[in-house]
Structure 1
Amino acid sequence: GTGGTGGTAGGPDAPGITPNPLISRGKPAFASSGRASVINDGKYRSAGTWIAGKPTTAAPAWAAIQVGTGYERLLLSWTASYNYNYTDVQYGAPGAYRVETSSDSTDGGDGTWETVAEVTDNTVRTRAHSFDFSGQSWVRFVVTAAPATTDETGVQIDEIDVHDISNGAEDTWFFLGDSITAFAYDRDTPGTQPSFAENIHAAHEAHFPAMINGGIGGELTRANDGRPSALDRIDDVLEMNPDFHFFAIGYGTNDSWDQTDPTTFKANLQELIDRIQAAGRAPVLARIPFSPDGHHDALGVFNQAIDELTQENDLLPGPDLHAYFEEHPEQLDDKVHPGPAGRVAMNRLWADAVDVLYTGQQ
């Protein structure tokens, strides 16, 4: 694959991103209780969840998928997207869990299982884990605790997606941003479909990107007063998501509202770019969406900073969300956040903007 997003990543015949196909959808699924079929039906959140309740170490809840053989390494991601912020866990996220593999199970409950990943104090609404899968045919997600803050339903998982990363994890996308990101890339079915990943798959059948929605409402590029801050969490995000190569970045709405100095905003984003690239990942910056709200009159100079950073760092340009919502302000629910049509459009615009990475025609 290209391994990067710069205009110098390859000549006209450079190969595109290495595919990481989704291999779990529609495969036989089993669970300790509840409807197992909803964990790999391609439908997220309001279309149905697997309810694990409030399991314990002594009485865990599990969901298993028979993905089949022939894969050397896999990436398993789970989502609990009733939670709004990336760091919210109270609405269905697990508190403690492990991922297991088996070569001899027949129903997800029997057989010999090996633990390949374990989390004892989960702090996010969605996460992915990679592991060796040579000789194996089953994956199992075992929940051993709900968070202390869980609601009465307990743990409920939208979807478990399993991707083949035997040739490396490159088609992996972490959406980093504020409330606009949190709203737009949650893959809710049908409200936010087709998602970025579905759009890429429709255009490039061999590909099916892995997606993590890392949006946090109210986030600034940097905050000094305890508010959410991209630069305060980026190192943790990079460490927690080692297999995610591309970082789709959406900041600026809150910085402009907060009257951050545009020069400071640009310096903050440059530091964010530097940290992401130092970790061997590839950032892509979206232009800030247009807003008819008077608080956002200064967006022009902030978007100019994004344009300059994209050029100065030789990044692939992200989607021009400003131009789109200036033409379609009716797709903003409250003059700031996208409504259903706006969210669908944002996923399409991201897919269109990065399409060149899949063709290699840069």
Structure 2
Amino acid sequence: MSLKKLGKEMLNYFQSGVSYMIPLVTAAGLLTSIAVIFGGTNVWDQTDTFWGVIRMIGQTGLQFIVPMIAGYIAYAIADRPGLAPAFICGMIANEMGTGFIGGMIAGLAVGYLVNALKKIPVPAQIMSLKSLIIIPFVATAVVGLIFWYILGTPITALTEALTEWLNGMSGANAAILAAILGAMMAFDMGGPVNKIAYAFGVASFTSGGYAASTAMLLAIAIPPFGMFLATLLNKKLYSESERDNGKTAMIMGIVGITEGTIPFAVADPLRVIPSIIVGTAAGCAINGAFGVTQETMLATFMAIPFTSNIFLYCIAILVGGLITALMVNGLKLMKFRKKEQQHQANI
């Protein structure tokens, strides 16, 4: 197998793992965020108050991010026999502080090892024991020991260095990182590139890298907001159904769903997709340059009250939305005028 094919295969497995992880992050992240919002920062040390219990439930869920990403990457590679060993090795990776990177490596290692073990012939008398006992035992022991004695320490060091780098980012560096994450989030609106950026933001959030998680979460609603503004700024460029789609997209954006932009992108990909990429990247870059962060898992508009500077954060959203709207309308107007010229020429 070529390196290019192997890389594409791993990316597909990774995307599958992230897809399974998203509901966990949504539920646990929102519960933790709501607890801190209403209960204050003291809830981190409490379980004797209602908001303290909500925080405990959410935080318990967040501790399963690494095992879950490991488990479902292995599941994508090797089906059910890979699940249990990967969950266990993911827990080991989490315990060692390897973070998201450790979970990914554990999932890949278990998945490929289990696939190899499945191909080993065994006597018919013990065939039924192969999937139930032999494969889980061998895969868990081998990958678990390798992680503990060989891989875990360097991965932990890498994770800590990455976290320190993210936390130390400011100015131009923070703006560049935010722009890249914003562009990736807007690129395919829930597709593989979006999921990579989402996973990176979540990993940063769980390790305290709020600059990256803020950029990722900010990017979620800029595309639908931009398209909503576009339908308001020049109604002639959009049909009545598209204007209705703009209102729907805005409502979806407010609650943190990017996919409201998809009908526009499908109808006119050459003008919509570049516009939402540029607008989202610009909005995130501006926010990154301002150094505004928020320490919840709330997206774009819902996060406004909890940002370190509400005014500057809102400026970033507005600029991102306006750039998207003006660019897409400008491109559509060029197309509209070209059609008019062709029509005049044919008369």
Query: Could you tell me the TM-score, scaled by structure 1's length?
Result: 0.25
Greater relative contact order, per chain length (Cα 8 Å cut-off, separation 6+): 1
Higher helix share: 2
Query: Could you tell me the TM-score, scaled by structure 2's length?
Result: 0.26
Higher strand share: 1
Q: Whose Rg is larger?
A: 2
